[in-house]
Amino acid sequence: MKKFHFVMLLFFIVFLSAGITTFALAFGDEQAVTVGTERREFDKLYSAFDTLKESYFKEVDQDTLINGAINGMIDSLEDPYSDYMNQEEASSFHESISSSFEGIGAEIQEQDGYIIIVSPLKGSPAEKAGLKPNDKVLYVDGKSIQGMSSTEAVMLIRGEKGTEVKLVIQRPGITEPLDITIVRDTIPIETVYGEMLEDGIAKVQITAFSENTSKELITVLNDLQKQGMKGLVLDLRQNPGGLLDQAINISSLFVPKGEVLFKVQDREGNTQVMASKNEKNPDIPLVVVIDKGSASASEILAAAVSESADVPLVGENSFGKGTVQRAQDFSDGSNMKYTTDKWLTPNDNWIHEKGIKPDHEVSLPDYASLPFINPDEELKLSTASTQVKAAQQMLKALGYEVGREDGFFDENMEKVVIEFQKAEKLEPTGVLTGQSTLKLMEKLREKIQQNDTQIQKAVEILKEQVK
């Protein structure tokens, strides 16, 4: 297995506040667009505009018509990664470049007319509330968002710190929709977390690529080297990527100089090869961990180290986003993003909608996929629901003898809940609600972290390298 090298690098990412909607790559500067008025192909458009402006039964706002026309053109592309943003939305887009924002902390994307959760940020309200990749958001505060763009959905989901947003989601494998109430918070874009594990093995988790990621990453890596790091697990799970015009620099951190990082291909089939610029840095064995929430720039990085540096990948198949977007401003302050190219791995693979298959496929325990339980609901004797079933499975995973797992809250379940409440120094009511529910989910998260089979496999591989 080849090694990776540390270099200083700079990132550029754009987050949309509430769901941190992200794009794979951006090349070049944003530019204002001036549309000519003498082009014959626009005659039909001008005619429709004039007719509605003059003859519609109510007075219409011309900006609304123009915005609608642009939005309609982009919607006709049927591309979830292309979107038009009016002035308000574009303003939020630019504000979100800062090191923090107020929202729930989850990346979303539009897919087949629905808003899908790509990945919640680590430690965010979205993660704590139990949102998971591939959750389909049906309603926001009682309003259906089917057919909305990701930008429109973001405007509903985001909001001031301390306010609540109520989501109704459909989770794959679960028949009944789930009601989830999330308290918005300030989401600091702290994206790099490092720790020493055992036998000189360090773990660094990159949760997203924001404007400060490079500084955070280098600081963490330098600190870990001082602590005696001999091998590194790079955790890209649940990392939605980002808008990167410095993709070469970040991938060069791990790939030897001159090796191919990725390729960009336009609609004519012209291909541009991006090669590593690595320069004289220390060698340390590396293993990368990915999952279905690893998307966009995370996949560029994973594919680059895998195919050009023989770095093992561990975990689950990644998300599958293989297109390149450009963000472009209009002179009135509105904005659009649109797909310009597709990117290919060093071996010419297009991973779009397929993802990257790891060398070592390792799943987390089944209890890691249990659904969120709404703490506002009361689960008590004689109630029956999917929420009760989830609670039974959580308690079983924590070692309690629940007996049945069919979603019916019987007398034994009541006794088990009381036992759990006593163990956690909570009022022993036998009713699972509020703090009891939150504590149950907290204990389950701790168990998942302690039994992280994917990280354990990565460490096992590295131990063979650092003997």
CA distances from 387 to 132, 181, 382, 412, 434 (A): 16, 14, 13, 17, 14
Structure letter (DSSP) for residue 395: H
Number of C-beta neighbours around residue 67 at 10 A: 17
Report residue 10: phi and psi, to 5°: -125, 140
- Which member of 82, 150, 214, 296 is catalytic? 296
- Among left, alpha and beta (phi > 0; psi -120 to 50; other), residue 417 is alpha
Contacts of 281 (CB under 8 A, 6+ apart): 5, 6, 7
Catalytic entry in 321, 389, 439, 457: 321
| Sole residue written with tokens 């007719």 | 51
In the residue annotation, 363 being an active-site residue is answered as no
Q: How far apart are CA 247 and CA 215, in angstroms?
A: 15
**Residue 321 among the catalytic residues:** yes
Fill in the amino acid letter for 244: L
CA 416/CA 431 separation, integer angstroms: 10
CB 71 within 8 A of CB 84: yes
Please write down the HEC assignment for all residues of 341-354: EEEECCCCCCCCCC
Among candidate residues 89, 307, 316, 414, the one labeled active-site is 307
Active site residues: 296, 307, 321
